[in-house]
Amino acid sequence: MEVIITEWAKQSYLDLRNAQAFTRDEYKNILRPDAELLKVYPNDPKFSVAKFWGPAVDVSNKTIPNGFKMKWHNIGNGKVQLRLLVVIIASELNNIKAERAFLYESYVKSGKEQDKRQMEKLKIKIRRIAIGNYHYRRSL
């Protein structure tokens, strides 16, 4: 599966790197390789581990169609919980229609309320991605 880095993902990466939410080694040896697993989604055993991967769920505890979360615990010097929101949806890019994984946004989980806000924003971004209204930065 093609993995698309959106401008939202790039900006959140830069913000987290600037805030020193993770180390260079963690990015190189954990975060990036895990994100690259999306290329073989769902055919890697990590996708069956609920502490690592799962569906995005809204405030009413309903699964958000096409929305997923990649999760890491005890990352960085502050040992934070890091989340990467992923949208898996059929889309057309360069005249090729295919199912793709779009990296939407990364954030440090700081509580349930913040997580709920992120899920509501994710719903909006899924709709935008579905109609092609996003900024493509590159593919992994």
* String of DSSP letters for 91-140: EEETTEEEEEEEEEEEEEE--HHHHHHHHHHHHHHHHHHHTT-S-EEEE-
Least confident range of 13-17, 48-52, 76-80, 100-104: 76-80
Q: Is the pTM of this model over 0.85?
A: yes
pLDDT at 21: 94
Closest CA to 135 of 2, 6, 3: 6
Q: What is the pLDDT of residues 26-85, one digit of tens each?
A: 999 999 999 999 999 999 999 999 999 999 999 889 999 999 999 999 998 889 999 999
Beta-carbon count within 10 A of 8 CB: 21
Angstrom distance (rounded) from CA 34 to CA 132: 25
Give the pLDDT band of residue 100 (cuts 50, 70, 90).
Answer: very high
Closest CA to 68 of 1, 136, 139: 1
